[in-house]
A and B are shown apart, each in its own frame.
Chain A
Amino acid sequence: MRNLKSTTLIFELSKKGRRGAHLPACDVGGPSAAELLPAEALAAEPPPLPEVAEPEVVRHFTNLSTLNMSVDTHFYPLGSCTMKYNSKRNERIAGLPGLADLHPYQPESTLQGILQLFHELQQYFGEISGLPAVSLQPAAGAHGELTALMVAAAHFRKLGQKRTKILAPDSAHGTNPASAKMAGFEFVTVKSLPTGNVDMDDLRSKLDDTVAVFMITNPNTLGMFDKTVGEIANLVHSFGGLIYLDGANMNAILGIARPGDFGADMMHYNPHKTFSGPHGGGGPGAGPICVTETLRPYLPCPVVEKTDGQYRLVYDKPDSIGRVRSFFGNVGVLIRAYCYIRTHGPDGLKRVSETAVLNANYLLSKVKHFLPVPQGARCMHEFVASGLTLKKSKGISAMDVAKRLLDYGFHAPTVYFPLTVPEAMMIEPTETESKETLDSFAEVLFRITEESGELLHEAPHTTPISRPDEVRAARQPVIKWTPAAT
């Protein structure tokens, strides 16, 4: 039962003199902090944080949680984001004191368990990708992209080649061009065909010996495996360039096809997608990268190596690009990925992808009868339906459909991406949904297409709020609470 007052801000609950935590008395005696620190460094007052009692804190954040849809509560077919079930066992394991209460600078002799886990995880990631050299350090998929592009830059510097450009298709995630820019490259867009495949003629016309890397998402953002990837890789390699694989869609091909085998030189994983790390309302993720043996020397340090039965963190790699994050990366997310891989084993991981692809194709077979799927009757783990005819015939937009789905207790698909499909709705059921859930989702989606435009334009009707004014939020930004602003 929802608490209707739950949206009061924590600041509005504050009352002078109330407090939550109490700290113990100081057991070492001696002078006060004010005497130990120079007066000019001290603030007159502590920061003006809210003053609330612990029961209010608990009630406040508990009530806020009930305003979210989540995988634990709802079907979440958010294409490209891969919102699969987050296993409870992994949460408990990641919280074991011997994993959670470790300091990154402990002596190596006190870290042999976690270093063994890292070492094995490096091997599993390398095996699954077909790219044997692994860095666990990057903190998110986009961070992995950036790191890999820096690895490529270091490689070309070492070869004495001046390569200034990164290429990627127009259907690429926005992180691809942004990462290219941050790694110091010029970004060039390559056209894609209506099938979602790369336009080979356009690619060919943009390739020369100044191209460092071609970035490709495969399976692509339309949920199709680009068959021409081998040809593309050969072409790019013939100009001395490298292939980067955006691993966002690895859920479709675990144990079935390996990027290293179809021509990629580098890739990142999103363990929070493929290996079921929870998304946390927008993070943390992680972005481990895998590269070829040729590129191994450039990976960030430290890496874990095993010598004489002991696991060691190795910092001394002369050609390494250095460090992209403090300590060792988002370890907690990596532990969950390790648990996921060990839970499934080789047959199970393959089965994950088979089930994800079966579920997506099943849903596609139902949806295509009332919402066109321009790329056809088959897909990998996700597909993109187009609401264009609905828009033309009834004035109902993809956004209207998305909002109305919320009324029926389903999270919306990803809408308006990829940019190459008009009124795009990108649907990804994942392997952890039942036939019954898919049937009822398809049925609701169909029912919505039959509903009136009037009803849909004002949807959702049952959620705590509806259709917030985003223009106002952007034009008159209120991005923190002040007593006057509320």
Chain B
Amino acid sequence: MPYTYNTPDDERSMLQSIGVDSVAELFQFVPEEFRLQRPLDIPSALGELELTQHLSALANRNASAQQKACFLGGGSYDHFVPAVVDALASRGEFYTSYTPYQPEVSQGNLQVMFEYQTLICQLTGMDVSNASLYDGGSAVAEAVLLAMSVTGRNRVVVPASMHPEYRQILETYFACLGAELVTVAAPSGSVSLADIAAAVNAETACVVVQHPNFFGCLEDVQGIAKIAHAAGALLIQSFDPLSLGLLKRPADMDADVAVAEGQCLGTPMLFGGPYLGIMACKEQFVRRMPGRIAGQTVDRRGRRCWVLTMQTREQHIRREKATSNICTNQGLFALRAAIYLSEMGPQGLREVADLCVRKTAYAKQQLTSQPRFVSAFDRPTFKEFVVRDTQGRVAEMLEQAADAGYLAGVPLARWYPEMADCFLVAVTEKRTRQEIDGLVSALSAASKSSAPRPHTSLAQAAWA
């Protein structure tokens, strides 16, 4: 029996100590009518070798980013993870420990939380950070709940250029809360200030903006912040942590709450999770912030140390009046981000961002110099961009590119029916010139339609 120690002799002696004749007797509280009278209908046990072979076979039925050059983005990216991140985060003392409820034997995790919070504040310029949330999408939802609680309002304005799945999460949360989600179209790839101004009113709790946005384009965050603040609403910015190697920080643009998907900070793509939800905010909202927070204090001998703090916001104390139901967070991935940011430092972060921007620009130029492809938006982009296939055969073309060795792009049809002829291409620091050139060839070579499908004019498309 894997992972258990009891020998038949142990078991006999333990039963004797308890005062029963059999293990079955220990289940006396489970009424007979509720007992499962048959074995579970699941496959029989596998030893380590067989399990490894079985899972390796499953893994080999997938095509990984190590086999095919990955140009996929949209919230998950094939960034470089330095070896130190894996080596340190795979120490058992980190990954097999629990939430630090006993600070005396958890100073390692608590100090990491404190350092993570500080690193996130340094990264964003915000006053305070929590110790992580589930992922970038649920962090947006938690930020919006915070804004609704601060303002006592329940209208939320988001541009269509924010990640469609983040907007779907908001819709799901709002269905039960009687809150109103107002989506503002972004036909040029970014949202216009006039459209935001028209959507914001005295009922608006917050405006949420993603910058760089889902299409890779930059937004006028400062302009949007002014509009939101003039109406008494908060400005929530969803940011890309690596973009801050180059771009102004959320605090510099007057964001009240900054949230992010932290996967790019040292976490592999993992088919979408687990990831890292980042949240930082202005000091005045700290007691409304969800999630765990580590705080510095001293012990009984005056030694500097760390504990979980401000727990009166949390569900195990406050119950239905808590700021959130968050309990388990993403401690191990906050650790990975802390190691990553320490290893990169300011220069490393700037270099990653610089490589992303330049390689993306090169890829965009090379692709759109092909007669088949045009750039969907005339905007500066950070590490991804939208391409329109004038042949209108996106799905088929991307499948063929995958066969040729390229995970070439994310089709946008699922979320933006008007952009059925468009796909999103991401270029990280890992992609080489050779891979980019290969991508361009593979896409150009993909089968072409004899009768191009007409596409909707982007200027007329209503994406909301």
Whether, in the assembled complex, A440 has its beta carbon less than 8 Å from a beta carbon of chain B, the answer is: no
Out of B96, B261, B346, which one reaches A86, CB within 8 Å? B96
Identity of the chain A residue whose Cβ is nearest the Cβ of B319 in the assembled complex:
A177
Q: Are A65 and B108 in contact, with the CB atoms below 8 A?
A: yes
Question: In the complex, are the beta carbons of B171 and A322 less than 8 A apart?
Answer: yes
Query: Which residues of A sit under 8 angstroms from B58, Cβ to Cβ?
Result: 98-99, 113-114, 116-117
Q: Main SS of chain A's interface residues?
A: loop
List A contacts of B295 (CB < 8 A).
473-474, 477-479
Q: Which residue of chain A is the closest to B165 with respect to CB atoms?
A: A326
Q: A342-B54, A378-B28, A411-B102 are in contact. Are A101 and B66 (CB under 8 A)?
A: yes
> Which B residues are CB-close (under 8 A) to A477?
286, 293, 295, 309-310
The tally of CB-CB contacts under 8 A between chains A and B is 713
B353 within 8 A of A: yes
Are the CB atoms of B307 and A327 closer together than 8 Å?
no
Interface pair A107/B128, CB less than 8 Å apart: no
Q: Supply 20 A–B pairs (Cβ within 8 Å), ascending by A.
A: A20-B342, A26-B358, A41-B248, A60-B342, A98-B58, A104-B271, A105-B410, A142-B315, A182-B325, A225-B27, A279-B95, A280-B95, A283-B331, A331-B273, A350-B39, A378-B26, A431-B3, A435-B5, A468-B104, A474-B295
Q: Are the CB atoms of B75 and A327 closer together than 8 Å?
A: yes
Nearest chain B residue, comparing its CB with the CB of A138:
B134
Chain B interface residue count, Cβ-Cβ cutoff 8 angstroms = 210
- Which B87-126 residues have a C-beta within 8 angstroms of A? 87-88, 90-109, 111-115, 117-119, 121-125
Q: Which residue of A lies closest to B437 (CB)?
A: A28
Instruction: Give the residues in chain B near A463, CB-CB below 8 Å.
Output: 104-105
Other-chain residue from B63, B65, B169, B270 in contact with A326 (beta carbon distance below 8 A) = B169
Complex CA gap A297/B269 in Å reads 29
Give complex CA distance A180, B105 in Å.
33
Chain A residues within 8 Å of B209, by CB = none
Measured between beta carbons, the chain B residues less than 8 angstroms from A204 are: none
In chain A between 418 and 467, which residues have their CB closer than 8 angstroms to a CB of chain B? 431-435, 458, 460, 463-467
Contacts of A435 in B (CB 8 A): 5-6, 10, 13-14
Residues on A with C-beta less than 8 A from B44 are 345-347
**B273 touching A402, Cβ below 8 Å:** no
Q: Check A227 against B18 for contact (C-beta < 8 Å).
A: no
Q: B76's contact among A81, A104, A142, by CB below 8 Å, is which?
A: A104
Q: Is the CB of A321 within 8 A of B172?
A: yes
* A10 touches B (CB below 8 Å): yes
Contact partners of A359 in chain B: CB under 8 A? 6, 14
Cα-based distance from A327 to B268 in the complex (angstroms):
14
| Residues of the B chain whose Cβ atoms lie less than 8 Å from the Cβ of A346 | 39-42, 44
- Check if A326 sits within 8 Å of B261, measured CB to CB: yes
Bound CA–CA A481/B111 (angstroms): 11
How far does the alpha carbon of A352 sit from the alpha carbon of B398 in the complex, in Å? Answer: 46
The reply to whether B18 and A362 contact each other, CB–CB distance below 8 Å, is yes
Nearest A residue to B252, CB-CB: A43
Given A43-B252, A466-B299, A282 contacting B109 (CB threshold 8 A): yes
Cross-interface CB contact of B105 among A69, A124, A178, A378, cutoff 8 Å: A69
